[in-house]
Structure 1
């Protein structure tokens, strides 16, 4: 979609997928339960690549792979390390504000390190969800799309996680996986490739509650959007958190700079909004950041997003 064709009145969410775009069915399912209409854009890590090139990205025997889909529906496995670098390229410059909310719609063990504050990594969202279940003492079953992803992890409560192989392209394999996990308290589908029909199939066969990765992503996005719409000022955004005490130390002008900064405005835009010089904005901004206990605007945004995202899914 070209920028001139965009409806600027809608919230934009950019989806970065591990395979080839479009993944319209997956994205439509994720955004269906959001609290407001959104404009979805998509970029695939394998877009523009020939099949022969993609086959060269198969993981080595000793390397973790990521399962993903091509435009013709073919399921392929690609190198985790290659995908990590490619996704970081696609994330460059994205997710700096709520208006540019970006989702990395791929699970796997790859760690992207520090990204901009409004980049939502599906794997990180899943990790928090899993931790909340394990803290509650539940035994968790996981269905994964690749056999190479079945090795036990080192995360909290890993001894209460049972992982089995169940590729999305085989109903028989999914039924078999469901039977193997029927002794678990809850089953998690560890890939965005599993759709609502597959969830129903597994739930019927196992008799257990089944959580779909797409729904976990949707729930996290809904929470972020609701929080961003509900709270329009810094004081409201941080109400009830430890950071609210720091906010009380700001002067009136510093508080104004804070509110405009978290809305994504640059120094020159803040200066125009407040009728002061960019240099004066820099002074107030530096003092405000120091009182909030951070050094940069990016660090401040990460603190705020953490305050939003730490709520239970």
Structure 2
């Protein structure tokens, strides 16, 4: 049985909750209990506290409680601290009871001197019950709308993360396959870079960048071995000797794509990488910058190999 990741659990729970809210599948209490589970995983302290208020009831001494009294439309008279302080389940139960009461109301069958007064009292009761139902319905609607907003944000964020991870993992798999096929020794050096970068100290970073430089050189040797010949690139005769690693990578790209803009982009990126990696070996570079340089190198290798694969 395949175990789901935490991210997958969150995404699935958020999807279920959206359906629960939109299809009105759960009672208020059941919905809040389920949403509280999602909030424990990804919610802010404020959201978690608010959901707790909706389950247990509001109080007049807490700032968040007073804030959400307003957001959920619970105030009757804020200056006098009069409002609907009870939990959502209580409001839902009252709403159901009032709807039953409203459906049971019938027009009085009366006549005579008391008819006008009886009808007046009936209309007042009908109006009062309708207003009460409207107020309770408003509270419930606002709570559900706020829950829906929270759950939607979680769902679409996780959906985007999942899509991004999927795209990157697919691309990474393609790059790893190409590197393994064309220059397997490069792939073997990558774990050592990651290990050193995880240490984070200056010496480890310097060693990591040295390895990145070796990866670039080894990559050049694998895809375009040294030669005494030269190649004309952009009107310039370029040497392809043993120490001309950048030239040989650029020559590989030059022979496999007609796109001038792509050639220029790769040449500039490659030059910048060599410059920063070589400089970083001798000067302080932050862990974040070193990781960015390594990732950029890895993606560049993938782009160059994809160009080659497309022309074989």
TM range (shorter): under 0.3
Q: When the two structures are superposed, what TM-score results if normalisation uses the length of structure 1? A: 0.25
Relative to total residues, which structure has the larger strand share, 1 or 2?
1
- Report the TM-score when normalising by structure 2: 0.25
